[in-house]
Amino acid sequence: MINAYFKRNNGVIEEIKISGHAKYDDYGKDIVCAGVSASLITTVNAILSFDKNAIEYNDGNNFELKNIKQDNVTNILLDNLHRTLKEIENTYKNNIKVKED
């Protein structure tokens, strides 16, 4: 199971942690993992295209992101990522869990 954790403060996503594997299908064929990965990569690349200093992230086995500047564009993109992962969770409840603090 993929576990995605979003930490908010005053409505702003400050931190994201994502770990695990969906196990929907074999490695390399797993559409849930592919959807999460594509959403995550697109979000990070979009944020970095606006401001390379807006976030800090580690994309090792366990993905972690910190929202440094908390500017409007970054906040919108991180909110969109949260909504996207929630949509994936709605369809694949046994493969991804999205939590928010």
Nearest of 15, 8, 59, 5 to residue 37 by alpha carbon: 59
- pLDDT tens, residue by residue, 31-49: 999 999 999 999 999 999 9
Give the pTM: 0.95
Which domains does the chain carry?
2-100 (3.30.70.1490)
Handedness of CA 62, 66, 71, 75 (dihedral sign): positive
Amino acid 27: pLDDT: 87
Residue 75 is among the residues annotated as catalytic for this protein:
no
Catalytic residue among 8, 21, 69, 86: 21
8 A C-beta contact, residue 39 and residue 85:
yes
Catalytic residue among 2, 13, 32, 33: 33
Residue 41 is among the residues annotated as catalytic for this protein:
no
